[in-house]
């Protein structure tokens, strides 16, 4: 998407995308240099809050790229009056609540890691990311993108990268990379549904709703229910995500299409969750979480290996109906025969 925007004739659209791509490449290189072995633990928190309580700190980069920036809201402080600051604080809390209340996971590393965020990062920066230690949010360009703190599922998505780093450490390339992205969408969606009190069938299954300005013909960044339908816009192009293995995209770009092919496991999760109804974080969500944390899951797992393990975990820890729903979902998207 950013590659396409960077080639646009209107510099108000292209320049923010170009600057964002440069920053993203720099951040990706830094993360790869500091990459830890599979299942390595993050550095222990120096001032971890007691289990059940998050420890949040929101900073303001003042449109620079220096991190973390000036502390503007610490844990327990009142609203700052800055929407980006207060959204980041609230949504970090919502993500913590899902992982603690449902899975009894004490923050990203399971040991109370403080949740640090920086807002107003860069000039017209069109992204949000987890850099291995903290969250970072851009303000968008106002033409295509709104501020990146606006969607709770985006924050849930990015923080889940930290959970994955601590657990399976899925390689960010090809199918394991697409699984990495899909798991982040799954738990981002669950954060959203949990905060809204929605069942699987009540949810819209849209990721990043609200990120685009009204000028853009888009519902969201991605649709887990209908991959490939989130946007169709003259500037953005059409959503390229496949919903079935028959449309799998082989490409050297985007680390082997990690943001594109994630649509396939995304739809599998949606199908499993809605087949079971109720709250997605309990049935299918519990299976996906247990699989992510299972020591048998290899860091280079492909779709088929991950699917087989979810079926196995569902059979070991859940009723027959859960296992059936999970297996049927993976068959429906062509991952399992």
Residue 161 annotated as catalytic: no
Q: What percent of the chain has pLDDT over 90?
A: 82
277 confidence band (pLDDT: 50, 70, 90): confident
Q: What is the rounded CA–CA span in Å between residue 244 and residue 256?
A: 17
pLDDT the model gives residue 25: 63
Q: Residue 38 pLDDT > 70, yes or no?
A: no
Q: What percent of the chain has pLDDT over 70?
A: 86
pLDDT the model gives residue 5: 61
pLDDT the model gives residue 331: 98
pLDDT the model gives residue 34: 47
Active-site choice (59, 106, 259, 318): 259
Q: Residue 2 pLDDT > 70, yes or no?
A: no
43 confidence band (pLDDT: 50, 70, 90): very low
pLDDT digits (tens, 9 = 90+) for 240-261: 999 999 999 999 999 999 999 9
Q: Residue 28 pLDDT > 90, yes or no?
A: no
Top pLDDT among 31 and 328 is at 328
Domain spans of the chain?
A: 2-166, 174-332
Q: Does the fold of domain 174-332 match that of domain 2-166?
A: no
CATH superfamily to which 174-332 belongs: Neutral Protease Domain 2 (1.10.390.10)
Active-site choice (158, 167, 181, 327): 158
pLDDT the model gives residue 49: 78
17 confidence band (pLDDT: 50, 70, 90): low
CATH architecture of 2-166: Roll (3.10)
- Average pLDDT score over the chain: 91
pLDDT digits (tens, 9 = 90+) for 193-231: 999 999 999 999 999 999 999 999 999 999 999 999 999
The CA-based angle 120-122-127, given to 5 degrees, is 80
pLDDT digits (tens, 9 = 90+) for 88-143: 999 999 999 999 999 999 999 999 999 999 999 999 998 999 998 999 999 999 88
Please enumerate, as own/partner, the contacts of 221-230 that have beta carbons within 8 Å and a separation of 24 or more. Answer: 221/154, 222/185, 222/262, 222/263, 222/266, 224/185, 224/186, 224/189, 224/263, 224/266, 224/267, 224/269, 224/270, 225/267, 225/270, 226/267, 227/263, 227/264, 227/266, 227/267, 228/263, 230/206
27 confidence band (pLDDT: 50, 70, 90): low
235 confidence band (pLDDT: 50, 70, 90): confident
């Amino acid at each position: 998407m950013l590659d396409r925007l960077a080639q646009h004739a209107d510099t108000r659209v292209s320049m923010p995308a170009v600057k964002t791509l440069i920053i993203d490449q720099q951040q990706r290189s830094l993360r790869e240099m500091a990459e830890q072995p599979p299942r390595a633990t993050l550095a222990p928190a120096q001032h971890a809050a007691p289990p059940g309580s998050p420890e949040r700190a929101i900073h303001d980069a003042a449109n620079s790229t220096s991190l973390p920036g000036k502390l503007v809201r610490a844990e327990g402080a009142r609203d700052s009056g800055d929407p980006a600051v207060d959204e980041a604080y609230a949504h970090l809390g919502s993500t913590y609540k899902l992982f603690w209340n449902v899975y009894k996971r004490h923050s990203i590393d399971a040991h109370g890691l403080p949740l640090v965020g920086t807002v107003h990062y860069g000039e017209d920066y069109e992204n949000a990311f987890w850099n291995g230690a903290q969250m970072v949010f851009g303000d968008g360009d106002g033409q295509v993108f709104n501020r990146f703190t606006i969607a709770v599922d985006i924050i849930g998505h990015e923080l889940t990268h930290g959970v994955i780093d601590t657990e399976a450490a899925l390689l960010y390339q090809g199918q394991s990379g697409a699984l990495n992205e899909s798991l982040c969408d799954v738990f981002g969606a669950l954060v959203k549904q949990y905060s809204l009190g929605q069942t699987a069938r009540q949810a819209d299954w849209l990721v990043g709703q609200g990120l685009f300005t009204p000028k853009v013909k888009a519902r969201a960044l991605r649709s887990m229910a209908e991959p490939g339908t989130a946007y169709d816009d003259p500037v953005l192009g059409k959503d390229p995500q496949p919903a079935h293995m028959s449309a799998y995209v082989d490409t050297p770009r985007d680390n082997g299409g990690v943001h594109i092919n994630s649509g396939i496991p995304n739809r599998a999760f949606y199908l499993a969750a809605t087949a079971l109804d109720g709250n997605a974080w309990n049935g299918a969500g519990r299976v996906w979480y247990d699989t992510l944390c299972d020591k048998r899951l290899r860091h280079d797992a492909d779709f088929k290996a991950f699917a087989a393990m979810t079926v196995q975990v569902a059979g070991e820890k859940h009723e027959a109906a859960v296992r059936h729903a999970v297996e049927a979902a993976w068959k429906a998207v062509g991952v399992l025969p």
